[in-house]
């Protein structure tokens, strides 16, 4: 018999389940003073980010991770500090909601754009792991019935973000400050397009928030389990 088995049964060796959990930074995009995009109803992006980031944090804790929340207290915080103020963190995820080009809104195309987008930066020191985590999050969002928006790849000023994975909705955005300054693997998720009135209503529903949060957190947990 393997000599480790009796020791495990006696509790003299730690089991895999007792391994130290990951410390995940959950960043609420923007602040009340700089609230980001404006939804079709006039509600500000920060409020949507606050609701979803709280649900993502809760889902991660339920899965056994430790969480440090950033910008959830309404205080101002500089972008380079968001990913660097928590020593010992293992992963950084920033939660946002999307707008669209003003020209498209003016042209009556609000309902033409919907879905999530995921961003990584090649300037992040852990780019390969960041991409793996983005893929894990995208897989779970797809499994949950969400669809990616691909309009950020449109070759016009303000967009033109290269697509790394069309099926999963993953884009390269090298100069996103919170991603390139993070000392850990880092991903930014745009959960949906609040400039679209139909999507905005859906994203505000409590059941949708929990649905999205569980998918995002599930991807974070999966990529941390498989981290080298």
Whether 10 has a pLDDT exceeding 90, the answer reads: no
- Kindly state whether residue 202 falls inside one of the protein's structural domains: yes
- Kindly state whether residue 45 falls inside one of the protein's structural domains: yes
Whether 154 has a pLDDT exceeding 90, the answer reads: yes
pLDDT at 228: 67
Whether 136 has a pLDDT exceeding 70, the answer reads: yes
- Kindly state whether residue 158 falls inside one of the protein's structural domains: yes
Residue bearing the bigger pLDDT, 71 or 21: 71
Residue bearing the bigger pLDDT, 16 or 28: 28
Q: The domain that contains 44 carries what CATH number? A: 3.40.630.40
pLDDT at 20: 63
- Kindly state whether residue 9 falls inside one of the protein's structural domains: no
Residue 91's domain comprises 20-225
Half-sphere exposure of residue 125: CA atoms within 13 angstroms, side-chain side: 7
> What is the DSSP secondary structure assignment for residue 220, as one 8-state letter?
H
**pLDDT tens digits for 49-86?**
999 999 999 999 999 999 999 999 999 999 999 999 99
Confidence band of 124 (pLDDT split at 50, 70, 90): very high
Task: Say how far apart CA 205 and CA 192 lie, in whole Å.
Answer: 13
pLDDT at 15: 33
Whether 3 has a pLDDT exceeding 90, the answer reads: no
pLDDT at 225: 75
What is the chain's mean pLDDT, rounded?
91
- Kindly state whether residue 67 falls inside one of the protein's structural domains: yes
pLDDT at 14: 35
Whether 18 has a pLDDT exceeding 90, the answer reads: no
Task: Say how far apart CA 12 and CA 66 lie, in whole Å.
Answer: 25
- Kindly state whether residue 189 falls inside one of the protein's structural domains: yes
> What is the DSSP secondary structure assignment for residue 144, as one 8-state letter?
T
Confidence band of 38 (pLDDT split at 50, 70, 90): very high
Whether 141 has a pLDDT exceeding 80, the answer reads: yes
Helix 197-204, helix 206-225: angle, nearest 10: 80
pLDDT at 16: 35
- Kindly state whether residue 198 falls inside one of the protein's structural domains: yes
pLDDT at 69: 98
- Kindly state whether residue 33 falls inside one of the protein's structural domains: yes
Count of structural domains, the chain: 1
The Cα-based distances of 66 to 6, 11, 24, 139 in angstroms read: 31, 24, 6, 23
């Amino acid at each position: 018999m393997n000599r480790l088995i009796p020791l495990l049964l006696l509790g003299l060796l730690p089991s895999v389940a007792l391994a130290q959990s990951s410390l995940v930074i959950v960043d609420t995009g923007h602040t009340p003073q700089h609230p980001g995009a404006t939804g079709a109803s006039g509600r500000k992006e920060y409020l949507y980010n606050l609701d979803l980031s709280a649900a993502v944090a809760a889902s991660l804790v339920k899965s056994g991770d430790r969480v440090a929340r950033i910008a959830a207290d309404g205080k101002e915080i500089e972008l380079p500090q968001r990913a660097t103020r928590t020593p010992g963190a293992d992963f950084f995820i920033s939660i946002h909601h999307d707008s669209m080009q003003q020209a498209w809104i003016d042209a009556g195309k609000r309902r033409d754009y919907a879905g999530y987008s995921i961003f990584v930066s090649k300037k992040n020191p852990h780019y390969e792991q960041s991409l793996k985590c983005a893929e894990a999050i995208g897989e779970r969002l797809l499994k949950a019935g969400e669809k990616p928006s691909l309009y950020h790849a449109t070759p016009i000023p303000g967009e033109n973000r290269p697509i790394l994975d069309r099926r999963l909705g993953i884009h390269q955005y090298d100069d996103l400050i919170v991603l390139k300054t993070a000392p850990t693997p880092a991903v930014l998720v745009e959960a949906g397009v609040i400039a679209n009135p139909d999507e905005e209503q859906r994203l505000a529903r409590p059941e949708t928030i929990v649905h999205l949060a569980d998918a995002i957190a599930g991807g974070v947990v999966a990529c941390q389990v498989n981290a080298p």
